[in-house]
C-alpha cells in the first residue's frame, strides 16, 4: 500500500490468501459479472456454487465449465458468502429468495451498491455486507485473469459484524484477479453516487448529447450528414483511446497544434459554467435519492419514459447515417 493515492489501494501482497479456504461462495447470476467471478474464483481454488433460476439458459453453460449449479435458494443456503451479481432491477426478487437462508456471520456481497444505499434491501443486522466491484465488464475481468493480468476494482464494507469482513472481501478481490492491478477502498455511498453521476453527466448522458448536438449543428448549417458523423462520432474513439492510454496530456500531445489550440480555446466556451451548474444539479438529484426514486418508480410502472426516450434516441438521424457508414469498414463484418 505504498501508492501515492489519496485512497487506500490494496495489492495482492495485502490479501490473506487463505481467508476463503473454509468458505463457500454462492455466486447468484451468470451474466457479465457473474460468470467472470464464478470462473475466476473456481480457477483460484475457491469452493463456488452458482445460483440460477430453474430453466435458466445459463444453467448448462455453467455446468459445462465444471461449476456446481443450484437454484438461488439452494445456492444461498450453501454459501457463507452470497454474492448477488444480477442487474439492479433484479436485486429485490433475488434477495427475497436469499434472505431466509442467511445465517449469522454470513456475508452478503454486491458488485454495485444501489440497492443497499437507497434502502431497497435492508440486510439482517447479524451478517456482513460488502462490495467487490471490478471496474470493467465481466468478459474483460475473465480475459485479464486468464492472461495473468489484473482488473482494477473497488472494495467497500457496509456492515462488519464478524470483524474480518474487509479481509474476506479483499481476498475475494484477489481471487478474481483485481488485486493484481489494485483494489481501491471506498464506501457504498461513494461508489453509488459517483457511478450514477459519471454515467449521467459524462460517460453515457453527457457524451451522447454532445455528439448529437455537434452532429445536428453541422447538418443544420449545410454540411453533409456523413461528414458530420465522422467528425462528431467516429473520430471520438481515436480521442478516447489516447485519453485512456495516457490521460488528457497524452491526447493533447498526440493531436495537431491546431486541434489542441482549438480545443483549449473553444471547449471551455461550449462546456461552460452553465454546464457545471447542470452537473451540480444532477449530482444533487443522485445524492438526495431523487434519481433513484424516479428509476425505481419507472421500473414499477413498466418503464414508459425509458422506452419513449430509448425509441426517440434510436430514431435520430445519426443512427441511420452511422449504420450505412459502418458498412464501409471491413472489420464491421467481424
Strand order in the sheet with 24-28: 9-10, 183-185, 153-159, 128-134, 107-110, 81-84, 24-28, 47-52, 68-71
User: Is 281 annotated as a binding-site member?
Assistant: no
User: Is 7 annotated as a binding-site member?
Assistant: no
Active-site residues, by number, are 112
User: Is 147 annotated as a binding-site member?
Assistant: no
User: Is 256 annotated as a binding-site member?
Assistant: yes
User: Is 58 annotated as a binding-site member?
Assistant: yes
User: Is 314 annotated as a binding-site member?
Assistant: no
Q: Within a 13 Å sphere around the CA of 146, how many CA atoms are in the beta-carbon half?
A: 9
User: Is 53 annotated as a binding-site member?
Assistant: yes
User: Is 158 annotated as a binding-site member?
Assistant: no
User: Is 231 annotated as a binding-site member?
Assistant: yes
Q: Which residues sit opposite 130 in a β-bridge?
A: 109, 157
DSSP SS3 for 215 = helix
User: Is 32 annotated as a binding-site member?
Assistant: yes
Alpha helices in the chain (DSSP H): 32-43, 59-64, 72-78, 91-98, 114-117, 138-146, 165-175, 188-198, 205-220, 225-229, 236-254, 257-270, 273-287, 290-300, 304-314, 317-326
User: Is 174 annotated as a binding-site member?
Assistant: no
Q: Within a 13 Å sphere around the CA of 291, how many CA atoms are in the beta-carbon half?
A: 17
* Residue 84: Cβ within 10 Å count: 25
User: Is 138 annotated as a binding-site member?
Assistant: yes
Asked whether the beta carbons of 72 and 56 are under 8 A apart, the reply is no
Residue list, annotated binding site for Mg(2+): 195, 199, 231, 235
Residue list, annotated binding site: 30-33, 53, 56, 58, 138, 195, 199, 231, 235, 256
Residue list, annotated binding site for NADP(+): 30-33, 53, 56, 58, 138
Residue list, annotated binding site for substrate: 256
Amino acid at each position: 500500500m505504498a501508492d501515492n493515492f489519496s485512497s487506500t489501494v490494496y495489492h495482492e501482497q495485502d490479501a490473506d490468501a487463505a481467508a476463503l479456504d473454509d468458505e463457500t461462495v454462492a455466486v447468484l447470476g451468470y451474466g457479465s459479472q457473474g460468470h467472470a467471478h464464478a470462473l475466476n474464483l473456481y480457477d483460484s481454488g475457491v469452493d463456488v456454487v452458482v445460483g440460477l433460476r430453474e430453466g435458466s439458459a445459463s444453467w448448462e453453460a455453467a455446468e459445462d465449465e465444471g461449476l456446481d449449479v443450484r437454484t438461488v435458494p439452494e445456492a444461498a443456503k450453501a454459501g457463507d458468502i452470497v454474492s448477488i451479481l444480477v442487474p439492479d432491477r433484479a436485486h429485490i426478487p433475488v434477495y427475497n429468495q436469499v434472505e431466509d437462508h442467511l445465517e449469522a456471520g454470513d456475508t452478503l456481497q454486491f458488485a454495485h451498491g444501489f440497492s443497499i444505499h437507497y434502502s431497497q434491501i435492508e440486510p439482517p443486522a447479524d451478517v456482513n455486507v460488502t462490495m467487490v466491484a471490478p471496474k470493467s465488464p465481466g468478459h474483460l475481468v475473465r480475459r485479464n485473469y486468464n492472461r495473468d493480468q489484473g482488473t482494477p476494482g473497488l472494495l467497500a464494507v457496509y456492515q462488519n459484524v464478524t470483524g474480518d469482513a474487509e479481509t474476506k472481501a479483499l481476498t475475494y478481490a484477489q481471487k478474481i484477479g483485481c488485486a493484481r492491478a489494485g483494489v481501491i477502498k471506498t464506501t457504498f455511498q461513494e461508489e453509488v453516487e459517483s457511478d450514477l453521476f459519471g454515467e449521467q453527466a459524462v460517460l453515457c448522458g453527457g457524451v451522447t448529447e454532445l455528439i448529437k448536438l455537434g452532429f445536428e449543428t453541422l447538418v443544420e448549417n449545410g454540411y453533409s450528414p456523413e461528414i458530420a458523423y465522422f467528425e462528431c462520432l467516429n473520430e471520438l474513439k481515436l480521442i478516447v483511446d489516447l485519453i485512456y492510454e495516457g490521460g488528457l496530456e497524452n491526447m493533447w500531445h498526440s493531436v495537431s497544434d491546431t486541434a489542441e489550440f482549438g480545443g483549449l480555446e473553444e471547449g471551455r466556451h461550449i462546456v461552460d459554467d452553465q454546464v457545471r451548474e447542470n452537473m451540480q444539479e444532477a449530482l444533487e438529484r443522485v445524492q438526495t435519492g431523487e434519481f433513484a426514486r424516479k428509476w425505481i418508480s419507472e421500473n414499477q410502472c413498466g418503464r414508459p419514459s425509458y422506452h419513449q426516450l430509448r425509441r426517440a434516441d434510436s430514431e435520430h438521424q445519426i443512427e441511420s447515417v452511422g449504420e450505412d457508414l459502418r458498412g464501409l469498414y471491413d472489420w464491421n463484418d467481424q
